[in-house]
Amino acid sequence: MTVLRSFDDLFARPPASRYEGVISSSRYLPMRDDTKIAVDIMLPKGTEGKRLPTVLVMARYWRSLKLRIPSPPNKAPIGPREDVPKALMARGFAVVIMDVRGTGASFGISQHPWTPEEVSDYCEVAAWITAQPWSNGRVGAYGISYEGAAALRLTTCGRPTVCGVIPQEIEYDIYADIVAPGGIFNEAFMRAWSTSNTLLDSGKPSGLFPRLARLMTKSVRAVDEDKDGALLARAFAQHKGNTDIFAAMRAITFRDDPFGNTGVTLDDMSIFPHEDRIAASSVPVFSWASWLDGATAEAALRTYRRHPNPQVVVIGTWKHEMTHDGSPYRKANGPAHPPKQRQWDAILQFFDQTLAQDAPPQGKVIFYQTLGTDTWKRTEQFPLPQSRVETWYLQPQGGFAPQPAPTGSAPDRYVVDFKASTGLTNRWHTQMARPLVYPNRAEADKRLLCYTSAPLAQDMEITGYPVAYLDLMSTSEDGAFFVYVEDVDEYGVVRYITEGQLRGIHRALKEILRPDEAPHVPHHSYMRADASPLPIGEFVTLAITLQPTSVLIRSGHRIRIAIAGADAETFTRIPAQGQPIIQVAHTSKVLLPVVE
């Protein structure tokens, strides 16, 4: 067993590069219902006659590309992902990449993401791998986003041959983490993702591919036996039966609303229904996430808290593909920390330990980077045991302080500005293969209702889940409420830290606290039966949990709480018509998890 004492231990002993070149083939594998699944099989040249550990990738966005120029000989097929397979094969791993059911060159229909049929396909392909003469009987999986979520689901197969998985930048709760954070429809992402999938499933390059990749790519690559493309055309014809993702998603308001005509809800697509099977597998899990990429940090932390599996979690500040940094304290779009090669070394080392040496990491540990620093920290518990929750209050004249406001002060009036926006390079847009850049928010904040503290007398580290309790009154029965935590430096530069949001009709609190959750974090069910319109003319309290974060706010800087009623270029407008006016009382407060 391997014990990880420091962040550098993650990539201290990656396996050495030993092989050059690849023996590549592709074929259809018939599943239990005769649906043909397209797979690429890649073996390192020079390993003939050897039994190899194998890494499986379950691809939603094509396993490999048919290029407009001839593919180079003796090379792995090019796919729309970083070239980790090449690095794996150089270290003696076999790599198998499959187009999931209803996508790419595979046959079948995709009724919704991660259907039971699709996950069963993962298990069948993994079983097929271990029956091959070139397999050592041990299989792992990795991937970013959809492919990472598929990797975690591979542990539900109940097969002892699945020995290690690396889910990167995934969602745990499909409703709350990506489709409707805070119950507010993530319209920009769902529209772009649905459009992209429709193009890919018909054999056309996605508009989310980089421009050069779109120009160089004809389609998904057919399998070797499909010389004339007839099988590929039949697969595309079947894909026409795939569910229109955007149409189904936009009709969902509540967690228990059906997804189109499929007979399932978003909960059925989430990780949490599989918790028992993941735990029973005891498969080691190596999760990667970012404080600034959607809700991926929350997904990694929830996976960590809810599963007893051996686990390593790494939370950085990178964009969705983990190639560039997104910290507002560093140069925009700079290199990721750690850089790509170090990330790959960590992947190689983990798979070497779990698939080749049978010496997986021991216990559970989290490594995380604190915004505003270059420091990586280690903990075995999150929220941190050394943190305390401080209560800060909104004040008259836009103040923010750790003591209650004077009694009797008049509430602040805010006319909702539906042009307010966090831009096109925010934490939700980076999941569309866009940069992650939060520029100076000083100008954007002029559209928001802001509360700013006095300069801090000493450094303050906030690590955990901030929670806002807004006492407010609205002229509308519904609305979208956004709360941002920001850092204002001595020059007036405003840096985004984190955010939370809540739709007004979801305001009812539910007592669903689990022992593994933060004790100060409120919960909402988002269920139709719990809908509670805002009473016009009455003050109510909205409890809004913000995305987890870790930030060091320096002495002399000020903490800002900014409140909005819209994020115009990301979330759907609520209400669709009119311009509500809200009043915010100074009894409103924000709980900040401060590290001693």
Three-state secondary structure of 75-124 = CCCCCCCCCHHHHHHHCCCEEEEEECCCCCCCCCCCCCCCCHHHHHHHHH
User: Residue 347: how many CA atoms within 13 Å on its side-chain side?
Assistant: 29
- Is 201 part of the annotated catalytic residue set? no
38 strand-pairing partners? 28
**pTM reported for the whole predicted model:** 0.97
DSSP 301: H
Task: Single out the residue in 287, 309, 331 at which a domain terminates.
Answer: 287
Give Dmax (Cα) for the chain.
82
Pull the structure tokens for residue 54.
Answer: 């194998």
For residues 80 and 227, membership in a common domain is answered with: yes
- Is 320 part of the annotated catalytic residue set? yes
Task: Single out the residue in 287, 311, 339 at which a domain terminates.
Answer: 287
For residues 153 and 42, membership in a common domain is answered with: yes
Environment class of 280 (CB within 10 Å of its CB; exposed 0-12, middle 13-18, buried 19+):
middle
Task: Name the residue type at position 564.
Answer: A
26 within domain boundaries:
yes
Task: Single out the residue in 254, 269, 287 at which a domain terminates.
Answer: 287
* Host H or E run for residue 467: strand 467-474
Rounded Cα distance between 87 and 476, Å, is: 56
CA-based torsion, 111, 114, 115, 118: positive or negative: positive
- Is 274 part of the annotated catalytic residue set? no
Structural domain harbouring 498: 387-595
In 3D space, the residue among 96, 94, 87 whose CA is nearest the CA of residue 44 turns out to be 94
Please tell me which residue in 320, 324, 506, 586 is annotated as part of the active site: 320
Pull the structure tokens for residue 588.
Answer: 């409103």
Structural domain count of the chain: 2
238 within domain boundaries:
yes
Instruction: Provide the residue-wise pLDDT of the chain in tens; the chain has 596 residues.
Output: 577 899 999 999 999 999 999 999 999 999 999 999 999 999 999 999 999 999 999 999 999 999 998 877 777 788 888 889 999 999 999 999 999 999 999 999 999 999 999 999 999 999 999 999 999 999 999 999 999 999 999 999 999 999 999 999 999 999 999 999 999 999 999 999 999 999 999 999 999 998 888 899 999 999 999 999 999 999 999 999 999 999 999 999 999 999 999 999 999 999 999 999 999 999 999 999 999 999 999 999 999 999 999 999 999 999 999 999 999 999 999 999 999 999 999 999 999 999 999 899 889 999 999 999 999 999 999 999 999 999 999 999 999 999 999 998 999 999 999 999 999 999 999 999 999 999 999 999 999 999 999 999 999 999 999 999 999 999 999 999 999 999 999 999 999 999 999 999 999 998 765 666 777 899 999 999 999 999 999 999 999 999 999 999 999 999 999 999 999 999 999 999 999 999 999 999 999 999 98
Rounded Cα distance between 77 and 100, Å, is: 17
Task: Work out the angle at residue 51's Cα, subtended by the Cα atoms of residues 22 and 345, and round it to the nearest 5 degrees.
Answer: 60
For residues 280 and 412, membership in a common domain is answered with: no
220 within domain boundaries:
yes
Pull the structure tokens for residue 403.
Answer: 């003591």
User: Residue 179: how many CA atoms within 13 Å on its side-chain side?
Assistant: 25
For residues 70 and 218, membership in a common domain is answered with: yes
For residues 283 and 391, membership in a common domain is answered with: no
- Give the domain CATH number at 570: 2.60.120.260
Exposure class string for 347-380: b at 16+ Cβ within 10 A, else e? bbbbbbbbbbeeebbeebbbbbbbbbeeebbeee
CB atoms within 10 A of CB 337: 17
Rounded Cα distance between 583 and 470, Å, is: 10
371 within domain boundaries:
no
183 within domain boundaries:
yes
Please tell me which residue in 9, 173, 226, 293 is annotated as part of the active site: 293
Question: Angle 146-153/116-130 helices, nearest 10 degrees?
Answer: 70
Please tell me which residue in 106, 110, 135, 145 is annotated as part of the active site: 145
Cis peptide before 113 (omega within 30 of 0): no
- Give the domain CATH number at 157: 3.40.50
For residues 417 and 536, membership in a common domain is answered with: yes
Rounded Cα distance between 332 and 590, Å, is: 29
For residues 222, 206, 346 and 96, what is the CA-based torsion angle, rounded to 10 degrees?
Answer: -20
377 within domain boundaries:
no
585 within domain boundaries:
yes
For residues 33 and 154, membership in a common domain is answered with: yes
